A and B are shown apart, each in its own frame.
Chain A
Amino acid sequence: AQSVAQPEDQVNVAEGNPLTVKCTYSVSGNPYLFWYVQYPNRGLQFLLKYITGDNLVKGSYGFEAEFNKSQTSFHLKKPSALVSDSALYFCAVRDTVLTGGGNKLTFGTGTQLKVEL
Chain B
Amino acid sequence: NAGVTQTPKFRVLKTGQSMTLLCAQDMNHEYMYWYRQDPGMGLRLIHYSVGEGTTAKGEVPDGYNVSRLKKQNFLLGLESAAPSQTSVYFCASSYSNIPYNEQFFGPGTRLTVL
Contact with A along B34-62 (1 / 0, CB 8 A): 00000011111100111000001010000
Taking a contact as CB atoms under 8 Å apart, the answer to whether B49 and A102 are in contact is yes
User: Given A43-B90, A94-B100, A109-B40, A104–B4 Cβ distance below 8 Å?
Assistant: no
Q: Which of B14-22, B77-85, B105-113 contacts A (4 or more CB under 8 A)?
A: B105-113
Q: Which residues of B contact A36 (CB under 8 A)?
A: 105
Q: Which residues of B contact A107 (CB under 8 A)?
A: 42-44
B94 closest partner in A (C-beta): A103
Contact with B along A25-49 (1 / 0, CB 8 A): 0000000101010000111111001
CA distance A48 to B32 in the complex (A): 20
CA distance A42 to B106 in the complex (A): 8
User: Given A32-B100, A43-B105, A49-B102, A90–B42 Cβ distance below 8 Å?
Assistant: yes
Shortest Cβ gap from A9 to chain B (Å): 8
Taking a contact as CB atoms under 8 Å apart, the answer to whether B31 and A102 are in contact is yes
Q: Which residues of B contact A110 (CB under 8 A)?
A: 42
B97 at the interface (CB under 8 A from A): yes
A35 closest partner in B (C-beta): B102
A11 at the interface (CB under 8 A from B): no
Taking a contact as CB atoms under 8 Å apart, the answer to whether A104 and B48 are in contact is yes
CA distance A67 to B4 in the complex (A): 30
Interface residues of A in 59-116 (CB under 8 A from B): 90, 94, 96, 98, 100-105, 107-110
Q: Which residues of A contact B58 (CB under 8 A)?
A: 104
Q: Which residues of B contact A102 (CB under 8 A)?
A: 31, 33, 48-50, 56
Taking a contact as CB atoms under 8 Å apart, the answer to whether B101 and A103 are in contact is yes
CA distance A32 to B101 in the complex (A): 9
Seen from chain B, the residues whose Cβ lies within 8 Å of a Cβ on chain A are 4, 31, 33, 40-45, 48-50, 56, 58, 90, 92, 94, 97-108
Q: List 11 A-B contacts (CB under 8 A).
A: A32-B100, A36-B105, A46-B103, A49-B100, A49-B102, A90-B42, A94-B99, A103-B97, A104-B48, A107-B44, A109-B40
Seen from chain A, the residues whose Cβ lies within 8 Å of a Cβ on chain B are 9, 32, 34, 36, 41-46, 49, 51, 90, 94, 96, 98, 100-105, 107-110
